[in-house]
Structure 1
């Protein structure tokens, strides 16, 4: 105790006798350097007699020893923790809290913080078994809870992608054990979920096809060759129908197969068409009129089968990258659990950062996929392209390195464009990184803008670019260049010429998707040994200036004043995180799981300051429809829509009706700042 006197660690109290002094010295010796937050309260007023360094860091390094909890940490009293201490002290029964949100108010230079904590309040008794104090042990689990939520979200997105495809999709372990089927498989076959795992799938093959199917599958497993077979599969109707089965192996950096991904396509109509074509010419001529329509439909199915093969390869690429990211999250969480169990928490933050990094990479992967599909939410505005490029000069220079000379050619007369400036910056950096990789020995990188006027242009079989004025941004390098066969596939998703692990093949496809979604397009010009030029053509903006600064000041998150918020979100985890975080900040929060329940809350409540709703909701009433209905009776109601899918709302809808938009996944800090900004706006 002598060492503890005079610092924030312990206070034995003026009336302590030798016995208690010895006890406190023992407690300090055991718990002073403990990695977990530990504190000791005495008396019914819960005065701090001991708090180790970890506990002081948790509460914001305040001077607390010798004072009651309610005095030095009044925010804990406001959140009910002192009342809970009173109950433990009076009853003598311990209390355990798991993943409890705690808000710590700021003091001086220490900002306010919201944490999630596991803790125990353990009563301390004297020789007569009377409660004389409370022992506190806590664990800050904020990052663990966030990482677990990100993992669940990533897994949900992967399943959503596979279940959004019309084809039957399946996956196996390297040894061929089937452990995943998408919803289309169960809808088609009508079998219970899980009943075809392992080798159970062979039972729904036609008996005459089972031996052959097993032989082909074993051959693929043994050689690593792609799986390709036609066989009869039992349909939910009880009839056997011909299907086309295909599968591709996914390999790791060493070339070892880590998983198989496959598809099944119903080709019954194609098989029927083959039988017709095999008949004699005379019979075919007699039936040609009857069968013409069926043949046309069969040809369409055949084209679809080839298209689905490409989708199967796309799914395999997505799954490979997502599995790598999920492995990073799961592996880091497992290490964190082991470190916690063995009492070695010092290195836990590093593994938490690894898990968060993998989760953010998964979110970025989803964003790039939406960009390729031209379905990511955009926030277009007037953009001075020359100013944006000038602002990126230093970032591009640092990214490309000193061996590459950066030149800007930005004519003053360049027109403004209308696009999402953040996505445009991302596209430019993607192109700069590609250029850097093409010039390992150094070279010259040029960013050039120009005004162009184009006639109506056909970009694809059913894809046209309307005539008009465009602003052209060209990123040129003096690198290795590309042959024509690489140029032809450069915008394809997951196509890359980089070694395994050094590129996802989504960079240029994302750039092209962004350009098309913005109303423009992208082109590539290149020759081997001479360099490459990638051009983005974005539509000219001819409206009023009205441009907001590209860099906005970051507002401080402040306590609310009891404003009422209605949160509508069908995902329970997302809904709970949003509601509890907002409530911890001082808002009065009412939560609903679908559109009709949200409408009922809005009808029952009095004044409502803000509606925070996902756009895609179950129950037959979308978030956009819910907001429109609420605005009908509350014209001044403030609305924030949350979406990860651009087709759920158009920019015109949002701007015209004064709706604000957040894109999933959104960090809690970003959500809180958005709510605060919207609340302050007039």
Structure 2
């Protein structure tokens, strides 16, 4: 080697240690430059970039010649630079030897990524700061995942806490409450500070706690994985509610770590279901009684026809027989017809087809006036008492039939106390909600109760007590029509009747009648015409028609007959000597008597019309309008009734 002045120096090689150091430095440089998952670069003491590896180039987007010599704050966001974060990072590294953090950094193209940053202060052997080593890693994916998880957890927590219709909370394996949502606070009444740490059995009724229900629910959930049940639970204030409960076991790596419990207050649903069941039961009972009533009314109608034949025939025979023995026989037959007619009226009363003579009454006055009869209906071993309200609303009722119904109830109570007891008839005003009693609409009512201390009835007997012909009395001791007649009367009067009875605890029969404000006039029947001479008699029952024709002739009328409506109309068109049309209402085939009557007014307006039926006029008015223009007579009718109606 030659010096500048031409002097030659001998050639020398670097020491071996220096060569080894150079080789090691080259390997480190190659290692650092080859790392692509980390940005590894150097900063001078003032923070300017002095080296740059492939990882930094990949993360940050700068080539070495683009970034070396630039201040490292270029990687920070505007807000971080404005807050002085780059300078604070170097200060901390310089003073403590190391700075570590996570945060947003900016690539050359302006996009951001989340980084994990470590800055180490580098000093020489004398402790002089010669720069900083900076390692940055792109952990955006991890950050995104963590944020998503945190957001999901936050959303779930807000969801659970925000639910107010469900009590959602956790239990330890021992059943201690470990968290508590707003729904639990609303439903159970405990705040979270009160509930957390409390054993969940506190929410159960005392009887359930004594029976071990809470422990069994957790045991079943632990064994089966899930437990579901409905039952009564208790709020903080001691009130009870009907709850639907689900308990799920929570396990981690197969080990039970607690329970998730969801409770919902379903009291309204339970009450609604019970109300619906009661309504369905009442509807079924009403439909059954209505069906029996229709059948009973039909039987009574047919029976009336049979009685009409016998009664009319008796009246005819009575005008022709004069011997005393014959008259005794006729009298006995009349009494049999009367008993049959009474039975028919009882059947029609149950079927709510018995004509009522209604008027405005104070039931207290009616009962007091009837008290002596009611007392005589009892016996010396039965103590009879009245408990009447001081003031009672007026009702629209047939007083005579009310007395009969009340007497029937008193007699039934007396028979239920053969060894004596107490019988109380009471009255009071009540205001009922809609369907609170049977199918009665809401409004003011008068309540009449007959209470006894007798034997009571088992449920199966009570369920059939109002059915006609059903009786528990011995043969010959009752027809089974008493309570059915009472039921029919109150139902026809717009009310209802309720039976409360238990074996060994007596029976209370409570009837309800709608109260009124003001007087209501009694019903009146339409009037027929008089001075009739020729009668067109129409009936589809030959026996009834023959007996009625003979009865009409016996009181001086000329009679022509027809067995159906069309034949009767043909006679009305062909003849002008018909003064009155006397027709049965119900004719199973073809034209009804009411249709015939209306057509008669068009064909022969001068002809008067009398309708006859075993069904009472109020019942017929439910199905037909404008019947007041016709005279009406109930079957079976007597000679005197018929004559009065025709000559009125």
Give the TM-score normalised by the residue count of structure 2: 0.43
Higher relative contact order (CA 8 A, sep 6+): 2
